[in-house]
Amino acid sequence: MSRTFSIAVLPGDGIGPEIMEQAMRVLERVSEKGDVKLQLQSYDFGGAAIDATGEPLPAATLKACKEADAILLGAVGGPKWGVGRVRPEQGLLAIRKELDLYANVRPALFPSESLLEHSPLRPEVARGTEFVVIRELVKGLYYGDRKEADLDAPNAKGEAYDMMVYDKADVQRITRLAAFLALQQSPPAKVHSIDKANVLATSRLWRRVVTETIENEFKDKGVEVDHHLVDSAAMVMVSNPRKLNGIVLTENMFGDILSDESSVIPGSLGLLPSASLSELPTGKEPAKGLYEPIHGSAPDIAGRGIANPVGTILSAALLLRWSLGMAKEAAAIEQAVRKVLDSQEIGGFGLRTGDLGGSATTKQVGDKVLEVLDTLL
């Protein structure tokens, strides 16, 4: 008996609709070829939702996301909406909180070895980089109490503050997810915990709870952890990124910065996927998650059909693997993408968009991925 899953699709802004079209084609092909049926429905989100309804996360969109088995997002934001009172990015913060998407997962690797030449790092430094940044996503500075500075009031002191708050349970659950993902590799991947324990009280809590959780619950399964100060980790990430291979675990703000730093190693923001999860992706039951490419909305190239859809297609693969338990289909998509990107010298097609020095259009990349995928499903 075939199963049916519902996927809420949020194309968003800028190049979002263009790259989402290709990812949807891939998911529709998986649905056509297999026993599992995927129902995809699109909803307004971000700037597009502001234009349509006046708010970045309309009630109808939030309801659909809560009811769906998984969510696929294109891109959000753009200069059209500026930094005013109502902003597209507010929708992202709200949906993370509403769905308790507490763990952001960003792989940092090369979808194809042929892309080493596009890395800003020397090939001998970048080669073999393969780690996953896990960022706590719903606590810390971005969600703590804050005070805006009132610089216009008479005799104003001009003081502002943001509070960073974590408790033991917050750190335990993100550590357990990091350890779970470490155990998906054989032998288990090493967990590198990043903090600023020499300065911050929250980091000292973080370091102790991470250590105790790994030792008490996962050490006998082979999971090991070490600790790095965030400034040191930032230097290692560009000087010898392989030292961080495995799982990089950190809190919200540090993770925001380090995941952006790591994302440039493969040479293009258009290549990499990400996931925001609300539970362990065991594959046994649907695990709620929001999946999106790591890049922004790129309004400067929106509507031109030249955006790289690979990050969105690979996000769809992560969705299948982690939220729907469809690991075989996810691996087939990843293999198809690798074949499309691989150089002709090693048996691939070498088809690449402008960000990778090629001239292929968004649709041409999507067409070729589907062509290869048909041979794998």
Per-residue confidence band for 153, with pLDDT thresholds at 50, 70 and 90: confident
pLDDT of res. 58: 97
Instruction: Return the sign of the alpha-carbon dihedral for residues 225, 231, 232, 238.
Output: positive
| Cα distance between residue 211 and residue 193, in whole Å | 9
Determine the residue type at 356. L
Q: Is residue 1 pLDDT above 70, yes or no?
A: no
Among candidate residues 51, 260, 300, 374, the one labeled active-site is 260
For residue 196, how many other CB atoms are within 10 A of its CB?
A: 18
The answer to whether 63 is a known catalytic residue is: no
Q: What percent of the chain is predicted at pLDDT more than 90?
A: 88
pLDDT of res. 155: 83
Q: DSSP class of residue 220? A: G
The answer to whether 220 is a known catalytic residue is: no
> Would 220 be classed as within a structural domain?
yes
Instruction: Return the sign of the alpha-carbon dihedral for residues 77, 256, 244, 124.
Output: positive
Domain holding 237: CATH number?
3.40.718.10
Residue 270: CB partners within 8 Å, gap ≥ 6? 293, 295, 307, 308, 309, 310, 311, 353, 355, 356
Each residue's pLDDT tens digit, 205-229 = 999 999 999 999 999 999 999 999 9
Each residue's pLDDT tens digit, 75-92 = 999 999 987 789 999 999
Q: Is residue 156 pLDDT above 90, yes or no?
A: no
> Would 317 be classed as within a structural domain?
no
> Would 191 be classed as within a structural domain?
yes
> Would 144 be classed as within a structural domain?
yes
Strand partners, 40: 7
Q: Is residue 2 pLDDT above 90, yes or no?
A: no
| Cα distance between residue 306 and residue 366, in whole Å | 11
Question: Could you tell me the residue range of the domain that residue 231 belongs to?
Answer: 120-265
Mean pLDDT of 313-324: 96
Determine the residue type at 221. K
CA 127 to the chain's CA centroid: 22
Q: What percent of the chain is predicted at pLDDT more than 70?
A: 100
> Would 301 be classed as within a structural domain?
no
> Would 349 be classed as within a structural domain?
no
The answer to whether 162 is a known catalytic residue is: no
Q: Say how many domains are in the chain.
A: 1
Among candidate residues 97, 100, 142, 143, the one labeled active-site is 142
For residue 201, how many other CB atoms are within 10 A of its CB?
A: 10
Per-residue confidence band for 285, with pLDDT thresholds at 50, 70 and 90: confident
Please provide the DSSP assignment of 128-181 as one string: T--EEEEEE-SSGGGTS-EE----SSTT-----EE-----HHHHHHHHHHHHHH
Mean pLDDT of 127-137: 96
pLDDT of res. 303: 94
Among candidate residues 51, 150, 226, 231, the one labeled active-site is 231
Please choose, from the candidates 140, 109, 139, 141, the residue with its C-alpha nearest in 3D space to the C-alpha of residue 127.
109
Among candidate residues 196, 288, 339, 368, the one labeled active-site is 196
The answer to whether 256 is a known catalytic residue is: yes
The answer to whether 260 is a known catalytic residue is: yes
Bond into 187 cis (ω within 30): yes
Half-sphere exposure of 354 (CA within 13 A, CB side): 7
pLDDT of res. 152: 83
pTM of the model: 0.91
Each residue's pLDDT tens digit, 334-359 = 999 999 999 999 999 999 999 999 99
pLDDT of res. 218: 97
CA 269 to the chain's CA centroid: 11
∠205-130-253 over CA atoms, to 5°?
35
Mean pLDDT of 289-312: 95
pLDDT of res. 284: 74
> Would 163 be classed as within a structural domain?
yes
pLDDT of res. 154: 84
Q: Is residue 268 pLDDT above 90, yes or no?
A: no
Among candidate residues 100, 256, 363, 367, the one labeled active-site is 256
Radius of gyration for the chain, computed over Cα atoms and rounded to the nearest angstrom:
21
Per-residue confidence band for 101, with pLDDT thresholds at 50, 70 and 90: very high
Mean pLDDT of 135-155: 90
Each residue's pLDDT tens digit, 25-72 = 999 999 999 999 999 999 999 999 999 999 999 999 999 999 999 999
> Would 151 be classed as within a structural domain?
yes
365 in Cβ contact with 312 (< 8 Å): no
